[in-house]
Chains A and B, each alone.
Chain A
């Protein structure tokens, strides 16, 4: 008697569970576009509150609201998940393209698209950038490693270790750069952030790190001056003709292109370099930006924001107040810069396959 009732309960529970499982597939899509009202520009940040990209957007946005006539304020909405894939998908799914709903993106967002990561439903070559902003980056070694230049690193070969966060993120660039130069390096991926990497470098656990300009100037440059760290390579910046030149923030550090010419007599080429260019352009030269879904009013929107960027770039007060957020690099209008960006993302299937195989087989990533 008692057993039977328990079994019935058990089946009831099982049925409930089954129903739940069946229904879980049809949970309503969240984070659908829900306009805040006229004059308010809702802005999706696909990264966590208070992270680098979020802080950048929250700091910059009010200045644009001041300059743009029709914009009262920007309402930031953080939709995190899947290394920024979730929020970007949600934005693209909304299909809004009238400028009332924008997306803030960063290097990792583009990389997930280039590498065709799981669940990606967006394509930045078909979207429109309104504002772009770049940063530089430096590859450096610790004193314990005994490596003081790129030449020495290449001679050391795979005995040297590079520490990075993720082989599918910004930290794939240094290993790609070494490959372009014809060398090899051992990589240790899995660090939580650039801070722990600097500590591991100071402890001598790894030999080489990679960090952005602002961190380099603030944290690593003092060590370089004290002889405890050595800059190896800077990704440089694009000049007006689209050529890579030394970063004015650190004119003493050579670029990959220069080092290649010094070592091999010619500029770099081949699939590794093609991949490097795609990643460095989207990951650094145009790292962050405000984007919109493509639409008929694109030209108008682009002009509007290009004007705002121009106003801000000539505003001494803005430049002074935003010095920390800008890290020494000017804001750029999407207009006129998009072509270079799109060209870099359009890499051949061959190059893509090469990159995936290289990262998977030599650096422990698992890219489908």
Chain B
């Protein structure tokens, strides 16, 4: 039995590291083996994988700045920043320990909560879940560092993209333009990898730099420091786990939203303290979501086992397996099959601990990747990212969508627009619509709007928004008074509370010191104008939908138009005050050139795959790219290319991934 658990753990760790593949991917890899095993062996295999996948997907996010899975995008904020400062080891060890603790706490909670789970879950009705989803979207938009108005704007953009596909209520296809690919939506993996991964690649490829800035800084010392961080911020471990377990217990909230909620609370509470450096490499920004991500998985076991309702995506697969073996989850399971419940609980606990230990061994060699020149990595990353994104839709047009989102992500990066609200809004668009309609059809307005939890969340939303606006206006007033004295009294946090958005130019200068020169102001104008056109088009198209199908497109479109108009007005005012549209400076021109070249390379890759398929296309692309851009010597380049193609082949052969087929091969 331990053998199967161990096999599951290994698969989970490896799949976690591969960009874009998370818990669902890991279970899918195992599925062909599951049905030939005994029920207990199959369960051990699945639990082993699910318990560790979020331990190892942090590695990719932290080390490379590319999300290991959609929910691990949260680690790009502080974790990746720490790695850039050479503190990758510290971030990773803190994360591993915190996620193990989160998993174990979740298991403790699972055993304690079983007797009272039913009232807890039934007390949380559709209105509560609807408000929680709304809170998730708003909090990320408000709390993300950078431009708040544009944060809300990009969140609307995410909501709009999330609506592509079948509407949950009226069962009609929206914004699919007759394309078979879009019927199921763009695909979460493609969106997350496009907006973060591809964006990172087009920015870094032609720069020939490594991810970490300081090559002389050793990783070694950081490991024990990370362990001390966990001990120091034990409050964040506890709160993060609690948020995670809560999101796991409530079906519909999901792992991605849970991780961001945990990050949001850590930041909201932590930034009251003097030493907070959230967004600039604060270990708490790693610890809280790590604890949460494993807390979610263990918390999600509760509804899965007790009500047969999968609390998280991978557990839908576990549920399928249980049912096929004739095990009916439900209240009776606890009474009749207590052994099975304890078996699952213990498997989870053992896997969580073993996974963390193994992750330490894996992380050391992998962390060194952040010191490798980026073009060398990109030759492998480009094929890998696109192949991961391809798995959901199995349609090559997803490549263009990923590239387009990569450009969007890059524009966000240079104009300091936070990308987290986009991803969260994309994930939650359909659940938001779903629970809104369920809420309004099942309750009278006066009934659901007066439920205590709904009122509390509504007040919280109003309070946070009001606080932001108040902070903002106060700061702009004081900024004009004390323009000369830029440094705040305490010296560490120049803007007082970190909750407030950092003014654009400074925030950017801190996040990316040299790589991103300030874009001229007309870029901001173009972004707002482009968004305005996008939302107007969305509104016009929505007119053709049915009554229930068009409500949310109308709301999102209207919101988008209003926000982009506000942004446009603000941009025009700023353009005026800064004197003209701005000039394309030499630095910015160079950057555009770099990005143009990177885009051309990726397009070349896409067309190669279109023509000759994944394997040959990757072979040609990687070889030429390594020789020309990475300037590798011919022999190592050939060997490296062979390794990349072999790795892709191994993924299709052993991990059930599909390789795109081209016209000729």
Contacts and interface: CB of A to CB of B under 8 A. Distances in A.
A324 interface: yes
A161 B548 CA distance: 17
Given A28-B662, A189-B171, A324-B327, A5 B332 contact: no
B325 A167 contact: no
Nearest to B393: A81
5 contacts: A20-B603, A81-B181, A118-B176, A189-B168, A199-B122
A86 interface: yes
B183 A118 contact: yes
B180 A82 contact: yes
Contacts of A80: 184, 392, 394
Contact of A58 (B35, B331, B442, B589): B35
Interface string B296-312: 00000001000111100
A86 B180 contact: yes
Contact of B589 (A2, A54, A199): A2
A366 B169 CA distance: 9
A296 to B, nearest CB: 29
Which 8 pairs across A and B sit closest by C-beta, in order of nearness?
A: A324-B326, A218-B328, A195-B309, A50-B317, A366-B172, A366-B546, A82-B183, A27-B396
Contacts of B393: 81
B442 A364 contact: no
Interface string A38-69: 00000000000111101110110010000000
A202 interface: yes
Contacts of B31: 49-50, 54, 58
Contacts of A24: 397, 400
A324 B308 contact: no
Given A23-B607, A59-B324, 9 more contacts: A9-B592, A13-B596, A50-B317, A55-B35, A81-B181, A195-B251, A205-B438, A206-B442, A222-B330
A205 B443 contact: yes
A119 B183 contact: yes
B328 to A, nearest CB: 3
- Interface size range of chain B in the complex: 35 or more
A215 interface: yes
A83 B183 CA distance: 8
B610 A23 contact: yes
A78 to B, nearest CB: 8
B593 interface: yes
B125 A203 contact: yes
Interface string A112-155: 00000011000000000000000000000000000000000000
Interface string B161-176: 0000011111111001
A198 B307 contact: yes
- Interface size range of chain A in the complex: 35 or more
B28 A202 contact: no
Interface string A286-299: 00000000000000
Contacts of A169: 171
Contacts of B607: 23
Contacts of A196: 251-252, 309
Interface in A320-368: 323-325, 360, 364-367
Given A28-B662, A195-B309, A366-B546, A76 B32 contact: yes
Interface string B314-357: 00110011011111111110000000000000000000000000
Interface in B183-227: 183-184
Interface string B425-451: 000000101100110011100000000
Contacts of A82: 166, 180, 183-184
Given A6-B589, A82-B180, A324 B32 contact: no
Nearest to A168: B171
B610 A27 contact: yes
B619 to A, nearest CB: 18
Interface string B250-275: 01100000000000000000000000
Contacts of B126: 200, 203, 205
A325 B596 CA distance: 54
B608 interface: no
Nearest to B437: A190
Contacts of B527: none
Interface of B: 27-28, 31-32, 35-36, 121-122, 125-126, 166-173, 176, 178, 180-181, 183-184, 251-252, 303, 307-310, 316-317, 320-321, 323-332, 392-397, 400, 403, 431, 433-434, 437-438, 441-443, 545-549, 583-586, 589, 592-593, 596, 599-600, 603, 606-607, 610, 658, 660-663
A82 B183 CA distance: 5
A166 interface: yes
Contacts of B317: 49-50
A98 B584 CA distance: 64
A188 interface: yes
A356 B157 CA distance: 33
Contacts of A56: 324
Interface in A177-209: 186, 188-193, 195-196, 198-200, 202-203, 205-206
Q: In the complex, which of the residues B36, B172, B660 has the most CB atoms of chain A within 10 Å of its own CB atom?
A: B172
A340 B526 CA distance: 61
A31 interface: yes
A30 interface: yes
B660 A30 contact: yes
A31 B659 CA distance: 9
Contacts, number: 221
Interface string A214-245: 11011100100000000000000000000000
A222 B437 CA distance: 30
B455 to A, nearest CB: 18
Nearest to A323: B326
A82 B326 CA distance: 29
Q: In the complex, which of the residues A49, A56, A62 has the most CB atoms of chain B within 10 Å of its own CB atom?
A: A49
Contacts of B330: 218-219, 222
A222 B332 contact: yes
B252 to A, nearest CB: 7
A190 B583 contact: no
A190 B545 CA distance: 16
A277 interface: no
Nearest to B304: A195
Contact of A205 (B125, B171, B663): B125
B180 A189 contact: no
A167 B592 CA distance: 49
A190 B122 contact: no
Q: In the complex, which of the residues B32, B170, B252 has the most CB atoms of chain A within 10 Å of its own CB atom?
A: B170
A9 B183 CA distance: 34
Contact of B171 (A23, A195, A366): A366
Given A13-B599, A50-B316, A188-B437, A81 B394 contact: yes
A2 B396 contact: no
A198 B306 CA distance: 12
A162 B389 CA distance: 37
Nearest to B124: A203
A32 to B, nearest CB: 6
Contact of A59 (B35, B181, B586): B35
Contacts of A199: 121-122, 251, 307, 309
A52 B122 contact: no
B35 A364 contact: no
A175 interface: no
Nearest to A186: B441
A167 B171 contact: yes
B487 to A, nearest CB: 34
Nearest to B185: A81
Contact of B35 (A6, A13, A62): A62
A16 interface: yes
Contacts of B320: 50-52, 54-55
Contacts of A32: 661
Contacts of B36: 62
Contacts of B28: 49-50
A79 interface: yes
Contacts of B181: 81
Contact of A16 (B438, B600, B660, B661): B600
